[in-house]
Structure 1
Amino acid sequence: MHDNSKTRVLIANDDGIQSGYMHALACALAPYAEVFVFAPEVEQSGVGHAFTVRRGLALKKRNPVDVAEGHVEFYSMSGTPADCVKFALGHFATHGLSTEGAGPGLFDVCFSGVNLGENSGVSSLYSGTVAGAREAALWGVPGIALSLRGTNANMLDVAKSFAVSVVKNRLFEQIPVGTFWNVNFPKATAETFKGFKATKMALGMFTDHYSHEGNLWQLDGDKLWNEQAKDSDDYLLNQGYATITPHRIDQTDQESLEVINEMLEGGGMI
């Protein structure tokens, strides 16, 4: 039986179904929500918003987990993070695991993560974790990506507490349709963590370089963290803040749209 009085939470990630960080998030939310996990069967880091359309997807129900006053259902899929969210929202919510059956009902919010590795700045454009939250927003469901820059257990606790607060206080209802939150947690201890900041997305590119070994080219590089705008997610994350950056689905650049219209009207384009 599903408890219709509880918030219904979907959790996805790109680290795969075995991720302990994702399991920790699911168990933390279970006392306050109906929690369903749909995650890739293997790691899908860096796949962006890729999804599967020309081959079938394998779905496997995993062992559920019971926690104090809560329960989590786990499912793995052979596809990407976007596949997982797309299936959960577009089919499972209304049909369950059949084509004609009944599902658990619509989801109230989707968390993607907790990811091991930051997804601030331009990382968000490559991230499968962020794509999970973006896919939720495409379906009109509030999406929140959660990522850790470091492996400090204290920051995982902060991320879990943040998600619990979002659910208990229904803060996800403050996320406008067509937007989603990209939340990143710094390398910090309890003593050095500086709290949360609302930020804009940094635009600085990686310092990409390739090494050549045999017939293979290996990519490496990092970010110039402190050269970013001081009100951006990369910069503030590097200063010890957790950053909350709202992203929009609509990527239209209005100024360029006006310029193109002027060119069309003036006959300068065709």
Structure 2
Amino acid sequence: MAEESNRSTIMITNDDGIDAPGLRALVNSLVATNLYNIQVCAPDSEKSAVSHSITWLHPIAAKNVHIDGTTAYAVSGTPADCTSLGLSKLLFPTVADLVVSGINMGNNCGYHIVYSGTVAGAREAFFYDIPSISISYDWVKEKSNLHDFTLAAQACVPIISALLVDIKNQRYPQKCFLNIDVPCNVANHKGYKLTKQGKGFINMGWKQIASATEGRKMSSDMTNVDKPAHADINMSSISPGSLLFSREVRGSQLDHDDNNDHKSLQEGYITVTPLAAISQAGEDCQNYFKDWLQNVSECPSSSAL
């Protein structure tokens, strides 16, 4: 019992849901080390692309579930809800030393980070001054398979272990959290590479449809799948006469900076990108609006013209 109390504690969350293969592979890989206390606090269903939304207007439910080697709860809220509830000491007796969110099905690079529930799970821990990591695997249809999640987890265990050593020795920098992306061909990855968040963006458009049965669900890897979108929504909430629209992917805009996350990921590296809660506007924008705002304050208001 004393040995267990001296172990570091890791809390795991995600946005694909508590039954997702990425989360289970991560849990199994960490449990197999027999080095850590593992807590799991994850959404009870898929919550992909919910960004950093939180539940505010109604209560959420948490149900104890069995996952070997862990204490685990399935929560009816968002990834950010799961992290904050898991760190509240209302579910677990101790606050985790490290929060790991993932492993997501699909990469989280560039501007896509803003939409990501996986990244939000780690960012929420950052708000509470708890070290955290988000992990995503670059799932590619017809190339990837479920065993790749295990390989991705195993490839990230050294990073997790090294971070916990730094946390224990109080060397971990408190001004950032880490976003990790694992390449599709994880079995032959080129190693770890420190990168910067790029400006890559997935172009998503809208298509008007005649009925909800025409819509196709957007999967967690940001591609359209054949599963009808209406399977996940309450059809009674759609009033007669409403116009119906379905999202669809229309390509992507790539960032060709040599050191950005997406380009390095496609080259086969496991990308490690430090992030902060918010990004500051560039110095050129600060300078522009400094003069601009001064001019605004000196102009007469439009109502006086």
Same fold (TM over 0.5): yes
Which residue of structure 1 aligns with residue 180 of structure 2? Answer: 183
Shift of 1:122: 1.2
**Structure 1 residue 223 corresponds to structure 2 residue 226:** no
RMSD between aligned alpha carbons?
Answer: 2.3
User: Which structure has the larger Rg over C-alpha atoms?
Assistant: 2
Instruction: Supply the distance in 2 between the matched residues of 1:199 and 1:213 (Cα, whole angstroms).
Output: 40
Where do residues 1-270 of structure 1 align in structure 2 (5 Å cutoff)? 3-30=4-31, 31-65=34-68, 71-89=69-87, 91-92=88-89, 96-97=90-91, 103-150=92-139, 151-152=144-145, 155-169=148-162, 170=164, 173=167, 175-188=172-185, 190-191=187-188, 193-214=189-210, 215-225=244-254, 227-253=255-281, 255=283, 256-257=285-286, 259-262=288-291, 266=294, 268-269=296-297
**Matched residue SS, 2:251:** coil
Instruction: Supply the distance in 2 between the matched residues of 1:222 and 1:24 (Cα, whole angstroms).
Output: 30
Which is further off, 10-19 or 163-172? Answer: 163-172
8 Å CA contact 1:9–1:33 kept in 2: the answer is yes
8 Å CA contact 1:115–1:148 kept in 2: the answer is yes
8 Å CA contact 2:202–2:249 kept in 1: the answer is no
Which is further off, 73-82 or 2-11? Answer: 2-11
Deviations 1:215-262 (A, max 9, x none): 32332133344x531211111111221111110124333634455455
Shift of 1:187: 1.2
Shift of 1:268: 3.5
Number of equivalenced pairs: 253
8 Å CA contact 1:85–1:132 kept in 2: the answer is yes
8 Å CA contact 2:14–2:118 kept in 1: the answer is yes
Q: Structure 1 residues 44, 181: closer, same or farther in 2, change over 3 A?
A: same
Shift of 1:17: 1.1
Q: Match of 2:271, as an amino acid?
A: T
Q: Structure 1 residues 39, 6: closer, same or farther in 2, change over 3 A?
A: same
Deviations 1:165-189 (A, max 9, x none): 2343325635421311110011115
Instruction: Supply the distance in 2 between the matched residues of 1:132 and 1:115 (Cα, whole angstroms).
Output: 11
Q: Structure 1 residues 238, 254: closer, same or farther in 2, change over 3 A?
A: closer
Deviations 1:192-221 (A, max 9, x none): x22221111111322333333323233213
Instruction: Supply the distance in 2 between the matched residues of 1:241 and 1:84 (Cα, whole angstroms).
Output: 30
Instruction: Supply the distance in 2 between the matched residues of 1:152 and 1:175 (Cα, whole angstroms).
Output: 34
Q: Structure 1 residues 23, 262: closer, same or farther in 2, change over 3 A?
A: same
Q: Structure 1 residues 195, 167: closer, same or farther in 2, change over 3 A?
A: closer
Q: Match of 2:159, as an amino acid?
A: V
Q: Structure 1 residues 172, 10: closer, same or farther in 2, change over 3 A?
A: farther
> Where in structure 1 are there 5+ consecutive unaligned residues?
66-70, 98-102
Deviations 1:102-154 (A, max 9, x none): x5222110000011111111111100000001001110011100001123456
Which is further off, 199-208 or 15-24? Answer: 199-208
**Identity percentage of aligned residues:** 30
Q: Structure 1 residues 162, 108: closer, same or farther in 2, change over 3 A?
A: farther
8 Å CA contact 1:10–1:107 kept in 2: the answer is yes
Q: Match of 1:47, as an amino acid?
A: V
Moved over 6 A (4+): none
After TM superposition, the score normalised by the length of structure 1 is 0.84
8 Å CA contact 1:13–1:40 kept in 2: the answer is yes
Instruction: Supply the distance in 1 between the matched residues of 2:18 and 2:65 (Cα, whole angstroms).
Output: 9
Q: Match of 1:5, as an amino acid?
A: N
Instruction: Supply the distance in 2 between the matched residues of 1:75 and 1:52 (Cα, whole angstroms).
Output: 17
After TM superposition, the score normalised by the length of structure 2 is 0.75
Instruction: Supply the distance in 1 between the matched residues of 2:186 and 2:79 (Cα, whole angstroms).
Output: 30
